Amino acid sequence: MILTDLDPSTVRPKINELMTKLFQNIPSGVGSKSKLRLSLNELDDAVRSGAKWAVEKGYGIVQDLERIEENGCMADADPRAVSDIAKKRGAPQFGTLGSGNHFLEVQEVSEIFDEATAKVFGLEKGKIVIMLHCGSRGFGHQVCDDAIRVMVGAARKYGIQLPDQELCCAPLGTPEADNYLKAMNCAINYAFCNRQVMTHWIRETIDQVFPAQKEQMNTSLVYDVCHNLAKFEEHEVDGKRKKLCVHRKGATRAMGPGRSEVPSLYRSTGQPVIIPGSMGTSSFILCGVDSAKETFYSTCHGAGRVMSRHDAIRQFGQSNLKQQLEQKGITLRATGTEIIAEEAPQAYKNVDDVVKSVAQAGISKIVARMVPIGVAKG
């Protein structure tokens, strides 16, 4: 999430221009290719160093790194553990949004639930923010595919009985597990870099569309948080501190106040937690709380689907979703009608109910609600 000093009265008259330029400046879609041209050696450097690599190349500012989970770099990332196929898939996609549920949204902060925390996060009611959701693209997908083939064999090798092949695994400390963790950390760092590069292009686009505000514009990063990964962390189990490997699949970290993993500027409040809805509904920003230790400081990472992509395309493929969204005041840019159909708001759970349940369960605290006024989908 990126802050701006803009308000809807300034943005709405230019929303078509803004969304068109964002769509042009940030490549989107299944086969999208980056404006960058990275050699494989440069890619190795990037996935070893994470967002710091991007900042050093001029894509962002040093202060961004303080507002990224792990400061934008997972240690023990080793490009030698990544296949050439993954690198060849990843290099051309570096700095691209991708497809599926990945998105870029221009949003208005419509409601503040926790004034004190919102102030720390820099959020004000009626201001415009930018929310970006994307990951490690084909690079991470290939890292996973490569590992599954290895892990199926490893499970047999180590005598692990699998109820389902999709649960293939290897014991920690084995060569198979060690190599996977090194490759996975590279994929995480790829995602950090990917979002950092696009954050830079978002800032450039805002300056292009709103040149009068350029000198005074605040486009600080609120936070960059991950999901779909495994991390080694210390947690309390049966009254004792233990080092655990926490897998967050379809979940995001929600560290509470005082945890050393939380950036110092957010340590008094707990880390920001970003929960998107769908392209036609609200999104939320929450914060981590102490009681989230019951879930190893984890919460959901989005509204979640209630309908498969195939079913959504079949049901909404011939509908006029774009016009329906525009009637609600949401300007949409997408690569095709199929992606609009599969990401139809009706294919997702009610995000208000999801977030309310998270708050009532004591997993995270609601800070603010945002509503979309412009959406870019791959």
Q: Which amino acids are annotated catalytic?
A: 301
Report strand pairing: 364-377 vs 331-334: parallel
Query: What's CA 33's distance to the chain center, in Å?
Result: 19
Beta strands in the chain (DSSP E): 2-3, 103-112, 128-133, 227-237, 240-253, 272-275, 283-288, 298-300, 331-334, 364-377
Sign, CA dihedral 124-193-340-350, equals negative
Cβ–Cβ under 8 Å, residues 348 and 306: yes
Across the strands, what pairs with 245? Answer: 232
Specify burial of residue 149 (Cβ count, 10 A radius: 0-12, 13-18, 19+): exposed
How far apart are the C-alpha atoms of 72 and 189, rounded to whole Å? 7
CA-CA distance, 31 to 294, in Å (whole number)? 40
DSSP category for residue 76: T
- Residue 270's SS3 state is coil
Question: Tokens at residue 12, please?
Answer: 């709405």
Neighbours of 183 (CB within 10 A): 26
Which residue in the block uniquely carries the two structure tokens 């139809």? 344
